[in-house]
A and B are shown apart, each in its own frame.
Chain A
Amino acid sequence: MSRGTLRVYLGLAPGVGKTFRMLDEGWRRRERGADVVVGFVETHDRPLTAAQIRDMEVVPRKIYDYRGTQIQEMDLDAVLARRPQVALVDELAHTNAPGAKNEKRWQDVEVLLEAGIDVITTVNIQHLESVNDVVEKITGIVQRETVPDAIVRKAEQIELVDITPEALRRRMAHGNIYPAEKVDASLSNFFRSGNLTALRELSLLWLADRVEDSLKKYLDDHDIKESWETRERLIVAVTGSETDEALLRRAARIASRTGAELFAVHVIDSGALQERSADTTLARELTVEFEGTFQEIMDEDVASALVAFARSERGTQIVMGSSRNRKAVQRTGVIEKVLRQARDLDVHIIAVGGEKPRRTWRRRKIGTYSWQRQVGGLVGAAVLLPLLTLALTQVRSNVSVSTVFLVYLVVVLGVASWGGVAVGLVAAIAASGLENYFFVKPLHTLEVARPDDVVAIIAFLVFAVGASIVVNLFAQRSSEAERSKAEAEILARAAATVATTRDDLVPLLDSLRAIFAVPTVALLERREGDWATELLSGEEVDLASLNARFAIDDNHVLVMAGSSLDSQDRQLIGAFAGRVAASIESQRLAHEAAARQAIAETDALRTGLLKAVSHDLRTPLATIEANVSSLLQSDVAWTSNEQHGFLVAVDREVRRLTRLVTNLLDAGRLEANIITPRYLHVALDDLVASALETIDTYGRVLAIDLPDDLPLIETDPDLAERVIANVVSNACRFGPPDQPIRINGGTTGHGLELLVIDRGPGIPEKKRAAIMASFQDLNDERSGAGLGLSVASGFMALLGGELRFDDTPGGGLTVAVELARKELA
């Protein structure tokens, strides 16, 4: 007897339609002539699902009695005895009642499969063991019922019952998934759109992994080398240069958009190891941060190695950077080659070279060489000149004296260009001595017999020294060129910095410090007559010791420590200071503009608020006026009953006014940002009870359901009480009179949550954001309510929590008050 096949409908959340699809498939098979029975179907009282069973045979459930509760489970023995071809068994992760044969339903299913019965079943992604912790992180809910991944993976077919989070939330709002009474804090929290999106992604990923498993097998079986696109795999070619960051960030964005896996690879050009030292530390760190894999390979042919790597990793896309800097010139060849070789792979060329790689400019003093180079030049002379002399003495008979002189000249110029004029001079004198001693007659003396030899030696000396100077001058010129390039760069950067933040000035000071090779550059600001350090680059030093000062404006000065500066330097720093001044000025203007903007916005807000509440203020005032002035009439003698009636009306309207004014004042306090919460440990039920004492319930019935074991919460009791009062008050005001207002509390992964559920008209999605954002868009009839909820929302933000608006299943507004958990002291 062969084992039965398993088909699993995988859902991202309850209510996506798994059971419905399972039944559908059952019917399809039955219509094809299979013997199909329902082993166990959970309809959750959903009429559409129940209707879908139609007249399909249902194996009666077995009833277990557990502590006085009757629990219905699938009757495994009955299904086995019935021996259908196909059994439909809902909720694979379900835990059976104590006393059942197996602890878990998936074990029951295993038994059925072993017995040769095909099983169609359902499971939600959150019940899969491997994603359990992720789900808990996403939703804050611990799933106790889990099913081992292997059981589901073994299934012959897994089908994802996909639905967009929006559609699922609509279903929820229409009450198609759970009746309103069943919606508690954790459930409402679970169905947040963010959660659903994450769960959906998780389902797809899980499934994709699964798909890849079978694909890998297929690839191995058929020895297929071409890349197959399942999950995208992005290969990023990093170079170990400054452009890697931009490149990797772009690549990570592409990867996250397409759900691709990221592989960063650095191909070390083994043919050019000396050329430059690549620093891949940053690239490695970034790759880890983007949850990618970093690899380094060594090859002479960078392009071929890259493509080979992409193929071996089954990459689908290659991302390469193209920059305008010098290094990229060589890379251009690489890019072309990759494009040629990567036929079936997508290759993205990303421009990352707008900015030159940052280099630390070291200033070299003009006309002087470092002592290392001078010593090097001297050593060179000391080695080369004797060697040369030795060589030339061997062939003395075959070369003329002028040739000898020319050869010496080459060596002198060489050491001069390395070690500078002084070294050149020493080498020239030594060379002329050697020439004289070894080659000019009489040999082996320093005497010179012929006058023209004297002239030749002097000419040699003059020429050697002169040429040394020229070589040196050339080196100077090129160093100057380098420096002016650096100056241009610093100015360009300064220009770019204008009108941005003050912190952006720091890198500017840093480059200034580097270019002039000084230990400290600082920006000082005059505050109440004294100079204080505003920004500092380099070592902390006594400000008085800074010898170079450049005024920026009346209140700012740039100071530098270190070497004295020449006029050219001063000019440059002057230009720099001008930029800084412009930057500071534009920052000041930006601040002012922002302040003006804020004032304008506040004004608009006040106008809107005033317009909005004037109706709500006038109405109770009018009522009070009418009732009180009635009492004061002297021409009518009111009965005491009538008097009481007037007063009751006044009392009620005064309370209403009080609440409105309190909210208005609180709105003002929120706007002025002057509320400091005082955190105390309080219980949610106490907060609810005292909040309810302060409000008018408009005669609504309140159904309060708060678990006894809720932990204390650290919050400001007054603010939290007002939040709850405002939310409940709103629900009472707009909920229909014959429907209770439900107040449910519970814990979520993030803290405590209170749900206030009404069956009123609800608040359209568009307006919710406005209520939460500020006290805007309130100029309609419901202004008072909007104000109350706005204040509540503002208080929640202060308390580190959130006020969330949701649709009540079946219509109405559900407000969730999320009090974030704080560790109890």
Chain B
Amino acid sequence: MTQRVLIVDDEVQILRALRMNLEARGYLVTTSQNGEEALRFVRNEPPDLVILDLELAGMSGLEVLESLRASSDLPVIILSARSGDPEKLLALDEGANDFLAKPFSIGDLVMRVRALLRGDVEELTTLATTDFTLDFVASTASRGGERLAFTEVEWKILRVLVRSGGRLVTERQLLEGVFGDGPPEDGAHLRHHVTRIRRKLEPEPARPRYVRTVPGIGFRFYNAIV
């Protein structure tokens, strides 16, 4: 079934470029230049994903997100004006699933769209990258022919991250995914485990390629093959 994407941005050139790119990759694209219209589209014919610019004329992106979240939890990617935009954090708090700062490359956008539409990887069995392989069934891992040993917590973290398949996983989501509803763990503790995972998996742990951190927000698992 063709997946439907609604793009809300008041810049015609951006809409055009995004539409061409997403249509070329087989998505059905609807565009809108203002919030009211976008919300109407969502009511009449709900899309599978919304790409929402925060800076809209009239109704602001944040307001659109707010009324959208009142009735639906469909995935939303926020486009913010610049990386340091405080609205970005507000939007994530409001329930946006991911964000991208303008200007962005199409590659980054497509990756996020795919990750969000794919949903969780249900049958998590193995993952093979150019640098390592992970076998989630047997709980074994190897890198360049060498076996890697992970602790139980590290396996749990890897499971949550790999299952998310490139989506932004906030620190809270990861903590919940790993430790469940148990006693609250702190972020520093989590980070410690992530650092250890990186040292085992990453070819260059100081510049992680797979397990990346979005400072102050969360984590993202990149896989070149995805």
Contact = CB atoms under 8 A, between A and B. Distances in A.
Nearest to B217: A717
A591 interface: no
A298 B195 CA distance: 72
Interface stretch (B9-17, B19-27, B155-163, B206-214): B206-214
Give the size range of A's interface with the partner.
Answer: 20 to 34
A579 B105 CA distance: 66
Contact of A704 (B89, B191, B206, B213): B206
B147 interface: no
Interface in A670-702: 675-676, 678, 680-683, 685-690, 692-693, 702
B78 to A, nearest CB: 15
A706 interface: yes
B215 A686 contact: yes
Interface in A645-690: 654, 658, 662, 665, 675-676, 678, 680-683, 685-690
A683 B84 contact: no
B83 interface: yes
A682 B215 contact: yes
B86 interface: yes
Interface string B123-161: 000000000000000000000000000000000000000
A741 interface: no
Contacts, number: 60
Nearest to B89: A678
Nearest to B214: A690
Contact of B206 (A662, A680, A685): A685
Given A689-B207, A706-B206, A717 B215 contact: yes
Interface stretch (A148-156, A206-214, A718-726): A718-726
A708 B205 CA distance: 11
A718 B212 contact: no
Nearest to A665: B82
B187 interface: yes
B188 interface: yes
A722 B188 CA distance: 23
A662 B83 CA distance: 10
Nearest to A679: B216
A665 B85 CA distance: 13
B188 A690 contact: no
A189 B166 CA distance: 40
A712 interface: yes
B206 A688 contact: yes
B85 to A, nearest CB: 8
Contacts of B215: 680, 682-683, 686-687, 690, 717-718, 720-721
Main secondary structure of the interface of A (DSSP, over half): helix
Contacts of B191: 683, 686, 712
B81 to A, nearest CB: 10
A680 B216 contact: yes
Given A681-B188, A683-B213, A712-B188, A689 B208 contact: yes
Interface in B80-103: 82-84, 86, 89, 103
Given A682-B215, A689-B213, A717-B215, A662 B207 contact: no
A747 to B, nearest CB: 15
B173 to A, nearest CB: 16
Contacts of B103: 654, 658
Interface in A279-308: none
A702 B208 CA distance: 13
Given A682-B216, A683-B213, A721-B215, A704 B195 contact: no
B208 to A, nearest CB: 6
Contacts of A690: 212-215
Given A658-B103, A712-B188, A676 B213 contact: no
Contacts of B187: 681, 712
Given A658-B103, A712-B191, A717 B216 contact: yes
Interface in A476-515: none
B207 A686 contact: no
A706 B216 CA distance: 19
B216 to A, nearest CB: 4
Given A685-B195, A690-B215, A712-B188, A722 B83 contact: yes
Contacts of A712: 187-188, 191
Contact of A676 (B86, B195, B207, B216): B86
Nearest to A657: B103
Contacts of A705: 206
A702 B207 contact: yes
Nearest to A666: B84
Contacts of A719: 84
A704 B82 contact: no
Interface in A716-740: 716-722
A712 B194 CA distance: 14
A122 to B, nearest CB: 37
Nearest to B85: A718
A717 B101 CA distance: 15
Contacts of B208: 689
Contacts of B86: 676, 678
Contacts of A686: 191, 213, 215
A784 B188 CA distance: 37
A692 B207 contact: yes
A675 B83 CA distance: 13
Nearest to A681: B187
B183 to A, nearest CB: 18
Contacts of A682: 215-216
Contacts of A665: 82
Contacts of B212: 689-690, 693
Task: Pick from B86, B103, B215, B216 the residue with the most CB of A within 10 Å.
Answer: B215
Nearest to A795: B84
B192 to A, nearest CB: 8
A470 to B, nearest CB: 83
A662 B82 contact: yes
Interface in B60-86: 82-84, 86
Contacts of B207: 689, 692, 702, 704
Contacts of A702: 207
B58 to A, nearest CB: 24
A717 B187 CA distance: 15
A500 to B, nearest CB: 40
A685 B195 CA distance: 9
A717 B207 CA distance: 17
A720 B103 CA distance: 20
Interface string B103-120: 100000000000000000
Q: When A and B form their complex, which 10 residue pairs have the shortest distance between CB atoms, in order from nearest?
A: A717-B215, A704-B206, A717-B216, A680-B216, A686-B213, A718-B84, A682-B215, A686-B215, A682-B216, A687-B215
16 contacts: A675-B84, A676-B86, A680-B215, A681-B216, A682-B216, A683-B191, A683-B215, A688-B206, A689-B208, A690-B213, A690-B215, A693-B212, A702-B207, A712-B187, A717-B216, A719-B84
Interface of A: 654, 658, 662, 665, 675-676, 678, 680-683, 685-690, 692-693, 702, 704-706, 708, 712, 716-722, 743
Given A678-B86, A719-B84, 10 more contacts: A680-B215, A681-B187, A682-B215, A682-B216, A683-B215, A689-B206, A690-B212, A690-B213, A705-B206, A716-B84
